[in-house]
Amino acid sequence: MSFEFLKSEWGIELKPNGQTEIQSYAESTSQKHVKEYIKDSDIRKLGVISSLPKDLARSAPSSISPGKYLVQVIKIVDITQPARFQEDFEGGKWRLLNVEVTDGEQKFKAMEYVSVKNLGVHLPPGTKLLLWSTKEAPLNIRNAHLLLTPDTVEVLGGNVEKLVESWKASKEVETNRLLWRTEGIKKTDKEDAAPPWTDFDPKKAPRVGGRDNVIEAERAEWRKMGSAAHKEQASTAREDGPTRAEVGAFQNEGQVKSQVASSAFAAAPSGKGGKGKGKSKEDGGGGKRGRRGNDWDDGGGEEKRAPVLGSTLASFIKSKDGATADEALAAFPDKAADAGGDWDAAWDAGWGGGGGGWSGGGGGWSAG
């Protein structure tokens, strides 16, 4: 079967894959059935070679060579209408159609220069058009648009199922959206309609007093719940014992007395580094910072305790002549007896006199 007649009648040629498809799926290879199959197919996928000039979308003002050319509609709009309604309505005799078409290899636009009766926004995508160009009525190109007139275009028809289904679904969605915007809820499902209007009836309205009673009952319920929670918390606390801040926990304890031990003011043993130096690295630190960090454990000795009051004042006395603290204190009872047994007088005599003490001329801390 030869497909050469398509070149003279529609200005197209079929690629080998297109010829194989038609021979496999068309009813027959007659011209009539071949044309019908092409009209109902998407020529962008069938494999069609067009005789139209290339790059028509960027072509300079000119005229198409005389001949016939098959194209397929992509979209038709009436540009005299608002953008939202250009694909749905036409402006009657004042319309101006803008047609987007393809020849199977390229996409370009055509404009209704003179009203064409068979053209309209009702034509779905996939519709086939046959363009004519003759010497008497050439098909002109202006501003990358083909200028259509009744003498240069013929509507062949066709039905590409997939393109038509998509086009109808899109139109249905747009129609429902427009219907909702124009008439709103009146056109919605009756099961989801708005409730009927009811006039206000003061007799059926709830009374204020009754509402106050409800509020008071709710408050009483909350108070009851709060007191129960408080009781539960108190019982739990009693089971666990007295808290840390309760006074009763200290009632059975005696008065705390502070006692100073005689060893509290003993001089700390000097380190290896000499006076003014801290411990060496072997002792666990250096300088003042090293000593401060080991207040609780100085070289493995005993832990320092709080000062405790002792029975004597021997720890406060340091004699100049080398006598022990007990020997230095032995002299004080005699002087106290000379003063008449008065402890205060003896104290003054012992610490303020010239015998010795902090300020006396004898041995003591302040003695020269």
CA atoms within 13 A on the CB side of 17: 7
The residue among 27 and 347 whose pLDDT is bigger is 27
Burial class of 353 by CB neighbour count within 10 A (0 to 12, 13 to 18, 19+) = middle
Q: How far, rounded to the nearest angstrom, does the alpha carbon of residue 193 sit from its chain's CA centroid?
A: 38
- Look at residue 188 in the predicted model and tell me its pLDDT: 53
**DSSP output for 32-88:** HHHHHHHHTS-HHHHTEEE-SPS-GGGPPSEEPPSEEEEEEEEEEEETTS-GGGTTT
Least confident of 150-164, 193-207, 274-288: 274-288
| pTM of the complete model beyond 0.85 | no
Q: What is the pLDDT of residues 258-281, one digit of tens each?
A: 555 555 555 555 555 445 444 444
Q: What is the pLDDT of residues 228-243, one digit of tens each?
A: 777 777 676 666 555 5
Q: What is the pLDDT of residues 74-94, one digit of tens each?
A: 999 999 998 888 888 887 788
Evaluate if residue 179 carries a pLDDT over 80: no
For the chain, list the domains and their CATH numbers.
4-50 (no CATH), 56-163 (2.40.50.770)
Q: How many CB atoms lie within 10 A of CB 179?
A: 13
Least confident of 39-43, 177-181, 307-311: 307-311
234, β-bridge pairs:
none
Q: What is the pLDDT of residues 127-142, one digit of tens each?
A: 999 999 999 999 999 9
Tell me the residue ranges of DSSP E strands in the chain: 12-14, 48-50, 62-63, 67-78, 97-102, 107-112, 128-133, 140-142, 145-148, 153-157
Q: What is the pLDDT of residues 52-70, one digit of tens each?
A: 998 888 888 999 999 999 9
Q: Average of pLDDT values for 159-171?
A: 91
Which band of pLDDT confidence, cut at 50, 70 and 90, is reported for residue 248? Answer: low
CA–CA dist 83, 80 (Å, integer):
9
Evaluate if residue 50 carries a pLDDT over 70: yes
